[in-house]
Amino acid sequence: MSLFSNLREDIDAAMERDPAARSRVMIVLAYPGFHALLFYRIARWFWTAGWYLAGRVISHIGRFLTGIEIHPGAQIGPGCFIDHGMGVVIGETAELGRGVTLYQGVTLGGTSLKKGKRHPTLGDGVIVGAGAKVLGPITLAHCARVGSNAVVVKDVGEDMTVVGIPARPVRSRASDAEQFCAYGIAGELPDPLARTLDGMLDTIHSLSSRVEQLESELAERPAAAPAAAAKDAPADFAKETITGE
């Protein structure tokens, strides 16, 4: 797609996903997320043409003006929406599909000093909430959602919602993927830690009840055991036991 086609889809994405947007002119003039994408797409053109220094300088100017840092080596599909945007960082080998949404403070970072693929890949329709960190060459599949302030270090499946540190899955429902969810959260989400603790408590109660049952059975055995042993023992053995012979 051409530069202008990508920018047009970026504007349409902002209109669609931000109820505060009153017009396309407002987005073009007053949305730092759009400005950052504008600088990125220009810098990307220079980068792919082999003008690496020019690409980096243009991206640095965009960072200075918007507070959003996007490396020109990153690959960002059309229809990307960076809401608010301050503090967003997108690394060199990051790959973003069509219609991705990022909120302020998001980091798509690398965890290796080696050259090559070291930043995450985001599929189409992925939503990453404010302050979330997605680290390493992992993959967030189609329509995955990351809750605010989560730290994601493992792959996330399609239509999956993850929250927490480290991020854990809390929901996988294809029906949620059909509607946009601000900050990657739709309705009430269960706390994965609380759910784990509840499961542990249920297990402890079950084991405690079983222990009490076994203790009760053991308490009854000493009184019944001698009578049963005497009844079942041979007559000669019983006589020897009584007389000591």
Write the pLDDT tens digit of every residue in 8-53: 899 999 999 988 889 999 999 999 999 999 999 999 999 999 999 9
Residue 186's alpha-carbon distances to 157, 159, 179, in angstroms, are 17, 12, 9
Percent above pLDDT 70 for the chain: 80
CB atoms within 10 A of CB 165: 12
Structure confidence at residue 87 (pLDDT): 93
- For residue 206, pLDDT over 70 is answered with yes
Note if the pTM is more than 0.75: no
Structure confidence at residue 95 (pLDDT): 95
- For residue 231, pLDDT over 80 is answered with no
d(CA 82, CA 62): 14
Sheet containing 127-128: order of strands: 81-82, 101-102, 127-128, 145-146, 160-163, 168-172
Quick one: pLDDT band at residue 244, thresholds 50, 70, 90? low
Structure confidence at residue 211 (pLDDT): 86
Count the residues in the chain: 245
- For residue 224, pLDDT over 80 is answered with no
Please answer whether residues 99 and 13 qualify as being in contact, where contact means their C-beta atoms are separated by less than 8 angstroms. yes
Q: pLDDT tens-digit profile of 168-187?
A: 888 665 545 456 666 656 55
Q: Which range has highest mean pLDDT (56-70, 165-179, 204-218)?
A: 56-70
- For residue 202, pLDDT over 70 is answered with yes
- For residue 241, pLDDT over 90 is answered with no
Q: pLDDT tens-digit profile of 117-163?
A: 999 999 999 999 999 999 999 999 999 999 989 999 999 999 899 98
Average pLDDT taken over every residue of the chain: 84
Structure confidence at residue 229 (pLDDT): 54
